[in-house]
Chain A
């Protein structure tokens, strides 16, 4: 009973594929990059497309956006086959933000956003009252009101990317597809961009599909994840479902890297120097934990003091470490790390 109700609450599918195959077709050969893909992106949800480099994410995204024909199978937008749509019809249902660097001189931000009305406006691209309203709404939606009359070519990369999103919003699409929108941005802009996209899904009924390399950021923010596995199959679901099923680990783990679902992040494997115990609480303990991990110590949660190679105690003015009856102390984490490294070399 309860379960049935939950399923009924799942939002409507805005974008759906049936046995889709994407790839390239030349005169002689057909090369499928990904096959038998069945995906759903729902209205009001942020969906992140992830996977190792070169696996075919961009090809898949371009095919979903109708910029490249599917080899086989179907892409549906709100239940309508993509192939049955005109170019303009598609543009009214789906907006795209690409990695292409746009070079356009002497063109204001508002003008760039107005271009998004291409599929709605008349023969000469004149703006009707409603067109203007949508443009102003889009400008507000991405928070670039203060830039509206500035020259587009003089914006920062992050600002430009926002404007390009506003332009896509001006198309009034049901689905927004973004190809690595954070690729060229600095860290705060990345977080802001993903935050903006999430906020857009909440304030509108928009389905947003983003491909990104910011795995940890995506896992924290996305409503759904499409994870392209090395074998070509795609794992889907809420980030937590995918993590739990071990998909992330399978897709990204390598010789020196481990995914820790509990931390929703990766760890670098730096060797095995033994076990360590940490005494203390608060942020300082967490930091000491990080230093020990980086220097190759396992930190089992329940470990007997005598079973450990090193025992570290943190307090307000620094740290004390005891190993084999010898006690060392220092005031910052740099000295702790130096101590641990020196110990390894000695051993």
Chain B
């Protein structure tokens, strides 16, 4: 890590701090920054402002950070693993799996057993949706891992994941087609994505899972770097490729699945954040990229979250739309700039 890298990381940290404060201060309720601080310090317990800050804004900001970091890291891992700049956390069909799980309980078009089972387990509403997403993503992941273990080429694994995703999406489409119209609203709502639904209680599950995923990525930076030269070179330099591939796939999919389960399918961040960081830091070194992606992912997710709650409008912009609208032009700009540099 060079001095310039450290400088850029420090700048990102400062940006993140500012973004956190801003996200805690902005909202429908006008709460001055001093009020935010006293709420955080616990000196204004019981006031409605403190309630808003501690039970709505703080968990929401933490969720946004965790989700942004998780998706960015998972995208980075997948892009390196598959040597493909278009890979994202959902390359193995993870989000399709989560979608299927949710579709089964939300759309419920004559496929009552899934939601009946959930209800019997005492789950309804968001908790049921989250559980269904985790089960769906887990099921797809398991199948893909079992199949990919028999396949040598990463490209084949990628194509397998893609095909699997298509197949599962087709089932979801059938469910949507056969669904009662009033259920479709809830389904659409799920597709919008949201950081607001993760309460402290759910953070207790969400945070450790996503932190574990990020730690896996941190612990495997050396392996990921070796993989940059391709699997065969990596093996010749002493990397246990199969083990590294499995660990990375499980880690990245865990991150993708957990975020999807708790926040809905959030597109774009996973594919964009790694590219932004490579462009900004001018390196492919994962020892720099992993921390950079964690910070950048957090910042971008917070920004998207704030934009989706545009001040003054009680009506919400779907988070999923914001992430793409915000990020796509930025990534295009970064890629074009670095491409021009490469040609010069």
Contact = CB atoms under 8 A, between A and B. Distances in A.
Interface in B216-240: 219, 221-222, 225-226, 228-230, 232-240
Interface residues of A, number: 34
Interface in A239-296: none
16 contacts: A67-B236, A87-B239, A91-B237, A92-B238, A96-B233, A100-B232, A100-B233, A102-B229, A103-B83, A111-B285, A112-B229, A115-B225, A118-B234, A123-B222, A124-B287, A171-B237
Closest 9 CB pairs of A and B: A91-B238, A119-B238, A125-B222, A96-B236, A88-B238, A118-B237, A104-B228, A107-B284, A106-B283
A94 B237 CA distance: 9
A38 interface: no
A210 to B, nearest CB: 15
A91 B225 contact: no
A91 B283 contact: no
A124 B223 CA distance: 9
Contacts of A303: none
A153 interface: yes
Q: What is the size category of the interface that chain B forms with chain A?
A: 20 to 34
B232 A125 contact: no
Given A123-B219, A125-B221, A154-B342, 7 more contacts: A98-B232, A106-B278, A106-B284, A107-B284, A112-B229, A115-B226, A116-B237
Given A124-B222, A153-B342, A67 B278 contact: no
Interface of A: 65, 67, 87-92, 94-96, 98, 100, 102-107, 111-112, 115-116, 118-119, 121, 123-125, 153-154, 167-168, 171
B81 to A, nearest CB: 14
A64 to B, nearest CB: 12
Contacts of B239: 87, 118
Find the residue from B236, B240, B282, B283 having the highest chain A CB count within 10 A: B236
Contacts of B232: 67, 98, 100
B237 A102 contact: no
Interface of B: 83, 219, 221-222, 225-226, 228-230, 232-240, 278, 282-285, 287, 338, 342
B221 A118 contact: no
Contacts of B285: 107, 111
A124 to B, nearest CB: 6
A125 B283 CA distance: 16
Nearest to A123: B222
A98 B222 contact: no
A85 B278 CA distance: 36
A90 B234 CA distance: 12
Contacts of B221: 124-125
Contacts of A104: 228-229, 284
A204 to B, nearest CB: 19
A162 to B, nearest CB: 15
Contacts of B238: 87-92, 118-119, 171
Given A96-B233, A104-B229, A106-B278, A87 B222 contact: no
B233 A105 contact: no
Nearest to A65: B236
Contacts of B236: 65, 67, 91, 94-96, 98, 168
A78 B338 CA distance: 47
Contacts of A96: 233, 236
Nearest to A107: B284
Nearest to B219: A123
A115 B284 contact: no
Find the residue from B219, B221, B229, B240 having the highest chain A CB count within 10 A: B229
A87 B231 CA distance: 13
A121 B222 contact: yes
A322 B33 CA distance: 107
A102 B235 contact: no
A95 B221 CA distance: 22
A304 B99 CA distance: 92
Contacts of A100: 230, 232-233
A171 B238 CA distance: 9
Contacts of B234: 118
Contacts of A118: 222, 226, 234, 237-239
Contacts of A154: 342
Contacts of A124: 221-222, 287
B233 A98 contact: yes
